[in-house]
Amino acid sequence: MTVSETTGSEQQTPRVPAGVGETLVTVRDLKKYFPVQRGLLSRVVGHVKAVDGVSFAISRGETLGLVGESGSGKTTIGRCILRLIEPTSGSVDFDGTEIVGLDSKSMRRMRQHMQIVFQDPYGSLNPRMTVGTIIAEPLVIHGGLTSADRADRVAQLLLKVGLDPSYSARFPHEFSGGQRQRIGVARALATNPKFLVLDEPVSALDVSVQAQVVNLLQDLQDELGLTYLFIAHGLAVVEHISARVAVMYLGKIMELSDRRSLYENPLHPYTKALLSAVPIPDPAAKNKKRRILLTGDIPTPLNPPAGCVFHTRCPIAQFPICGEVVPPLVEHQPGQFAACHFAGEPIPDGTGASTLDVKSVPLPQPTPAS
Amino acid sequence: MSVVIKIINLYFRFSGSPTDRSVCPTFSVGTNLSSRIRSVTEEPTPLNPPIPHRVQPRVREKEMPGEALLQVTDLTTTFFTNDGQVRAVDKVSFSVSKGESVALVGESGCGKSVTAMSIMRLLAPGGKITGGEVRFRGVDLVALSEKEMQKRRGNDIAMVFQEPMTSLNPVFKVGSQVAEAIRIHRKVGRKEAWKQAGDMLELVAIPDPIKRLDDYPHQLSGGMRQRVMIAMALSCDPDLLIADEPTTALDVTIQAQIMELLANLQNKLGLGLLLITHDLGVVAEFCERVIVMYTGRIVEEAGVNELFANPSHPYTRGLLRSLPNPEKEKLEEVADRLPTIKGMVPSIKNLPKGCKFNPRCPDVMEICLGNEPARMVVSDDHDARCYLWGDVADPERVEK
Q: Is there a contact between B305 and A284 if contact means CB atoms under 8 Å apart?
A: yes
Judge whether residue A217 has pLDDT over 90. Answer: yes
Assign A351 a pLDDT band (cuts: 50, 70, 90). low
What average pLDDT score do residues A343-347 get?
87
- What pLDDT does A367 receive? 45
Residues of B in contact with A212 (CB under 8 A): 340
What string of DSSP letters covers B166-184? Answer: HHS-TTS-HHHHHHHHHHH
Looking at the complex, report in whole angstroms how far the Cα of residue B376 sits from the nearest Cα belonging to chain A.
24
Please, which residues have CB within 8 angstroms of residue B271's CB and are 6 or more apart in sequence?
B99, B238, B239, B240, B241, B265
Q: Over the stretch B124-175, which tens digit does the pLDDT of each residue have?
A: 888 999 999 999 998 999 999 999 998 889 889 999 988 777 889 999 999 9
Judge whether residue B52 has pLDDT over 80. Answer: no
Which amino acid is located at B128 in the chain?
K
- Helix crossing, A131-142 with A177-189: angle to 10°? 20
Residues 207-246 of B with CB under 8 A from A: 207, 221, 223-224, 235-237
What average pLDDT score do residues A196-216 get?
89
- CB-based contact, B196 to chain A, within 8 Å: yes
What average pLDDT score do residues B83-87 get?
88
What average pLDDT score do residues B39-50 get?
40
Judge whether residue B41 has pLDDT over 50. Answer: no
| A8: three-class secondary structure by DSSP | helix
Q: Over the stretch A40-72, which tens digit does the pLDDT of each residue have?
A: 888 888 888 999 999 999 999 999 999 988 888
Q: Is there a contact between B340 and A368 if contact means CB atoms under 8 Å apart?
A: no
Q: Is there a contact between A277 and B199 if contact means CB atoms under 8 Å apart?
A: no
Measured at the CA of B300, the angle between CA B295 and CA B305, to 5 degrees, comes to 140
Least confident segment among A309-323, A342-356, B95-109: A342-356
Which amino acid is located at B187 in the chain?
K
- Helix crossing, B222-234 with B174-185: angle to 10°? 20
Contacts made by residues B176-180, CB under 8 angstroms, sequence distance 24+: B177/B228, B177/B232, B178/B213, B178/B228, B178/B231, B178/B232, B178/B235
Q: Over the stretch A134-176, which tens digit does the pLDDT of each residue have?
A: 999 999 998 878 999 999 999 999 999 989 999 999 999 988 8
Among the partner residues B256, B264, B305, nearest to A358 by beta-carbon distance: B264
Looking at the complex, report in whole angstroms how far the Cα of residue B215 sits from the nearest Cα belonging to chain A.
17
* Nearest chain B residue to A232, by CA: B251
Assign B25 a pLDDT band (cuts: 50, 70, 90). very low
Assign A298 a pLDDT band (cuts: 50, 70, 90). confident
- What pLDDT does B303 receive? 94
- What pLDDT does B91 receive? 92
pTM of the predicted structure, to 2 decimals: 0.80
Q: Over the stretch B286-323, which tens digit does the pLDDT of each residue have?
A: 899 999 999 999 999 999 999 999 999 999 999 988 88
Q: Is there a contact between A356 and B260 if contact means CB atoms under 8 Å apart?
A: yes
Residues of B in contact with A122 (CB under 8 A): none
Residues of A in contact with B345 (CB under 8 A): 176, 206, 208
Judge whether residue A127 has pLDDT over 80. Answer: yes
- What pLDDT does A204 receive? 81
User: CA-CA distance, B47 to B27, in Å (whole number)?
Assistant: 30
* Nearest chain A residue to B109, by CA: A206
- The mean predicted confidence, pLDDT, of chain B is 80
Judge whether residue B43 has pLDDT over 50. Answer: no
Residues of A in contact with B235 (CB under 8 A): 364
| B76: three-class secondary structure by DSSP | strand
Judge whether residue A33 has pLDDT over 70. Answer: yes
Which one of B182, B199, B220, B253 would you mutate to disrupt binding with A, by most A Cβ within 10 Å of its Cβ? B253
- What pLDDT does B299 receive? 95
Q: Is there a contact between B330 and A212 if contact means CB atoms under 8 Å apart?
A: no
CA B326 to chain centroid, in Å, comes to 27
Is the separation of the CB atoms in A117 and A199 below 8 Å? yes
More confident residue, B340 or A248: A248
| B195: three-class secondary structure by DSSP | helix
Judge whether residue A9 has pLDDT over 90. Answer: no
Number of H helices, E strands in chain B: 14, 12
Q: Over the stretch B229-266, which tens digit does the pLDDT of each residue have?
A: 999 999 888 999 999 999 887 888 888 888 989 998 89
User: CA-CA distance, B95 to B66, in Å (whole number)?
Assistant: 10
Is the separation of the CB atoms in B373 and B22 below 8 Å? yes
Judge whether residue B122 has pLDDT over 50. Answer: yes
Could you count the other beta carbons within 10 Å of the beta carbon of residue B177?
Answer: 20
Judge whether residue A352 has pLDDT over 50. Answer: no
More confident residue, B340 or A310: A310
- CB-based contact, B254 to chain A, within 8 Å: yes
Judge whether residue B40 has pLDDT over 70. Answer: no
- What pLDDT does B39 receive? 36
Q: Is there a contact between B260 and A207 if contact means CB atoms under 8 Å apart?
A: no
- Sheet with A244-249: strands ordered across: A114-117, A195-199, A227-232, A63-67, A244-249, A252-258, A336-338, A330-333
Please give the sequence-ordered ranges of beta strands (E in DSSP) within chain B, or none if there are none: 70-81, 84-96, 101-105, 127-136, 139-140, 157-160, 240-244, 272-277, 289-294, 297-303, 376-379, 382-384
Residues of A in contact with B188 (CB under 8 A): 367
What average pLDDT score do residues B270-274 get?
92
Task: Count Cβ–Cβ pairs < 8 Å, chain A vs chain B.
Answer: 181
- What pLDDT does B97 receive? 92
What string of DSSP letters covers A166-189? Answer: GGGGS-GGGS-HHHHHHHHHHHHH
Is the separation of the CB atoms in B179 and A337 below 8 Å? no
Q: Over the stretch A312-325, which tens digit does the pLDDT of each residue have?
A: 999 898 888 999 99
Judge whether residue B28 has pLDDT over 70. Answer: no
Judge whether residue A368 has pLDDT over 60. Answer: no
Q: Among B199, B183, B200, which Cα is nearest to A370's? A: B183
Please give the sequence-ordered ranges of beta strands (E in DSSP) within B211-303, or none if there are none: 240-244, 272-277, 289-294, 297-303
- What pLDDT does B335 receive? 53
Looking at the complex, report in whole angstroms how far the Cα of residue B55 sits from the nearest Cα belonging to chain A.
32
User: CA-CA distance, B203 to B198, in Å (whole number)?
Assistant: 9
Judge whether residue B58 has pLDDT over 70. Answer: no
- What pLDDT does A154 receive? 95
- What pLDDT does B7 receive? 52
User: CA-CA distance, B135 to B398, in Å (whole number)?
Assistant: 41
- What pLDDT does A283 receive? 82
Is the separation of the CB atoms in A32 and A73 below 8 Å? yes
Among the partner residues A211, A260, A296, nearest to B340 by beta-carbon distance: A211
Looking at the complex, report in whole angstroms how far the Cα of residue B236 sits from the nearest Cα belonging to chain A.
8
- CB-based contact, B285 to chain A, within 8 Å: yes
ipTM: 0.79
CB-hemisphere CA count at 13 Å for B13?
Answer: 6
* Nearest chain A residue to B156, by CA: A369
φ/ψ of A118, rounded to 5, equals -90, 165
Least confident segment among A147-161, A188-202, A205-219: A205-219
Please, which residues have CB within 8 angstroms of residue B306's CB and are 6 or more apart in sequence?
B379, B381, B382
| A222: three-class secondary structure by DSSP | helix
